[in-house]
Chains A and B, each alone.
Chain A
């Protein structure tokens, strides 16, 4: 079975601060990794994804994430956050489970950016 851990439940930052949200996963095989974002009152949207190749992936709105296979981690980063980044961020892993890929989400990290 696959699982995802997000260690920070709530992060509060001031604008222009740097951001790093932790994500660790547990799965014995090949995985695809994702970060989704949910702005207040909205649905989940894909922020970035890693399938293969360069372990440093860049997503929308200046976000990036680094896949470190040896650490089973896929941390999300942004050099300088904005007030509009206030949202909940979900890490997700997709591994082959049974007869189809299943996307498993972490518990989410609520990011609050203070103006």
Chain B
């Protein structure tokens, strides 16, 4: 059963530390999205890739966040330095490039920044 895999599932860190979240998209999917979910803001699109190329990262705070796809099987979201307001659940989702927009979500990475 193909699925999107995210690590870590839970991360507690202190303000100022670097945090890296990883995502393995479903094999064959060539669009990858990063979303952030909080109670206040709901689901926010941070960045998305198509064929490993970043297409839109306008939703991401550029000064501290960075997203990359070093290869087709790995997407990373890095926060440096982390702040308490970054506490959220970060979801990775992948989709086939069929222009339908259907996405398959990972279990999420719950980040707590103290």
Contact = CB atoms under 8 A, between A and B. Distances in A.
A107 B107 contact: no
Interface stretch (A11-19, A40-48, A68-76, A78-86): A40-48
A51 B50 contact: no
Contacts of B45: 102-105
Contacts of A100: 31, 48, 50, 55
Nearest to A31: B101
A94 B107 contact: no
Interface pairs A-B: 9 shortest CB-CB = A94-B101, A44-B105, A43-B105, A105-B43, A101-B101, A107-B42, A100-B50, A103-B101, A32-B101
Contacts of A108: 42-43
Interface of B: 31, 33, 35, 42-43, 45, 48, 50, 55-56, 91, 93, 95, 99-108
Q: Is the interface of B mostly helix, strand, loop or mixed?
A: strand
B48 A102 contact: yes
Interface residues of A, number: 26
28 contacts: A32-B100, A34-B102, A36-B105, A43-B105, A43-B106, A43-B108, A44-B105, A45-B105, A46-B102, A46-B104, A90-B43, A94-B100, A94-B101, A94-B102, A99-B50, A99-B55, A100-B48, A100-B50, A100-B55, A101-B31, A101-B100, A102-B56, A103-B33, A103-B45, A104-B45, A105-B42, A105-B45, A108-B42
Q: Is the interface of A mostly helix, strand, loop or mixed?
A: strand
Interface of A: 32, 34, 36, 42-46, 49, 51, 90, 92, 94, 96-108
